Amino acid sequence: MIGLSFIYTVAGTLFAFYAALSLAGRRLANAAFWGLLALSFLFGNRLGDLANGFLVLGLVAVAASGRMRRSVGGEEIDRAAEAARRGNRLFLPVLVIPATALVGTLAFQHWPALADPKQGTLVALTLGVLLALAAACLWLRPRAVAPIREGLRLMDSVGWAAVLPQMLASLGAVFALSGVGTVVGGLIGRLVPHGSLIGATIAYGLGMALFTIVMGNAFAAFPVMMAAVGLPLLIHGHHGDPAAVAAIGMLCGFCGTLLTPMAANFNIVPAVLLDLRDRYGVIRQQVATALPLLAVNIAFIIWFAF
């Protein structure tokens, strides 16, 4: 049965290649960062909590050193000419990924022996990435090392922000276990009128967005707000549909993602990659979308969950 170990092995192997190429290019900080990340994916379940904690501190130390550098060069091809010649057909391999994720998820539900039912979507997504890579290589015929080098060039441009979502999601789990959700729930409970469905829904939706703005990740905000408002007020108190409350609540959090520099890999890194003069230009452009969308999502919770 295919499960998380397969996904971690694929990701860890890729990061190990990145570390090796960085070491060959004498970019020692990059090699250390990607090497530690590879170690986490490949052997994290064998290292124990203490060793994994030191590993995370090592990642933070390397990132904070400021010595990580972008890759220089890449494959010597005229990308503009290739893009003009291939046109929109270049997006065909990309479409393999969502198609495989959808078909694979449905297939694993009918044949649960093929993959872990809890991780079927992630397994299908990983298979989709591998199939898309194979299709692109068969079509474009690059050198064998080209996909790894180009992937490294992109990841070096993103830098330490590549692991920010995972760390922030872990922070959300820590907050939930430490009882932050209970404390926040007590504070919100005093503000929301007793028995008010609309008040509780607004508090939940706005809370998801605001906590996401602070933490930079909706997955980090979710356990806090679900423990504080979602479960006690919306699901248990007003008997809302748990699936709708959870799913649309995450959409409220994603509206917060559009508004925060803490979501560096979404909002700050693109500004760097595109050489925008305004570091917060991406966020400014997204405000007009995020705020109305947040209001619509809060209304959708009431509509679909109750």
**Backbone dihedral angles phi then psi of residue 143, each to the nearest 5 degrees:** -65, 155
Same domain, 62 and 101: no
**Backbone dihedral angles phi then psi of residue 230, each to the nearest 5 degrees:** -55, -55
Q: Is residue 164 part of a domain?
A: no
Same domain, 129 and 151: no
Same domain, 137 and 150: no
Q: What is the pLDDT along the chain (306 residues), one digit of tens a residue?
A: 788 889 999 999 999 999 999 999 889 999 999 999 999 999 988 888 899 889 989 998 998 888 888 776 555 556 667 777 777 888 888 899 999 999 988 888 888 888 887 888 889 999 999 999 999 999 888 888 888 988 898 888 878 877 877 777 677 677 777 777 677 767 777 788 888 899 999 999 999 999 899 888 888 888 888 888 898 889 998 999 999 999 999 999 999 999 998 887 788 778 877 778 888 889 999 999 999 999 999 999 999 999
Same domain, 13 and 109: no
Q: How many helices (H) and strands (E) does the chain have?
A: 14, 0
Angle at 53 between CA 49 and CA 58, to 5 degrees: 150
Residue 29: which of 190, 156, 206 has the closest Cα? 156
Q: What pLDDT does 224 receive? A: 83
3-state helix vs strand vs coil in the chain, percent to 5: 80, 0, 20
Q: What pLDDT does 216 receive? A: 81
How far are the Cα atoms of 47, 177, 228 from residue 184, in angstroms, in the given order?
Answer: 34, 13, 6
Same domain, 13 and 152: yes
Q: Please state the domain count of the chain.
A: 3
Exposed (0-12), middle (13-18) or buried (19+): which is 80, by Cβ within 10 Å?
Answer: exposed
38 in Cβ contact with 16 (< 8 Å): yes
State which amino acid sits at residue 18.
Answer: Y
Same domain, 149 and 5: yes
Same domain, 150 and 10: yes
Residue 105: which of 86, 74, 127 has the closest Cα? 127
196 in Cβ contact with 242 (< 8 Å): no
Residue 173: which of 244, 121, 226, 214 has the closest Cα? 226
Q: What pLDDT does 255 receive? A: 96
Q: Is residue 161 part of a domain?
A: no
Q: 40: domain range?
A: 1-72+145-156
Same domain, 229 and 259: yes
Q: Is residue 213 part of a domain?
A: yes
Q: Is residue 222 part of a domain?
A: yes
User: How far is Cα of residue 261 from the mean position of the Cα atoms in its chain?
Assistant: 15
Residue 207: which of 173, 236, 239, 183 has the closest Cα? 183
Q: Is residue 167 part of a domain?
A: no
Same domain, 9 and 151: yes
- DSSP letter string, 13-70: HHHHHHHHHHHHTT-HHHHHHHHHHHHHHHHHHHHHHHHHHHHHHHHHHHHHTT---P
User: In the listed set 123, 156, 189, which residue is the last one of a domain according to the structure?
Assistant: 156
Q: What pLDDT does 276 receive? A: 80
Q: What pLDDT does 67 receive? A: 86
Q: What pLDDT does 163 receive? A: 82
The set of residues, in sequence order, having a beta carbon less than 8 Å from that of 54 and lying 6+ positions away, is none
Same domain, 41 and 104: no
Q: Is residue 162 part of a domain?
A: no
Same domain, 196 and 293: yes
Partnered with residue 2 across adjacent β-strands are 115
**For residue 253, what are its two tokens?**
């959090």
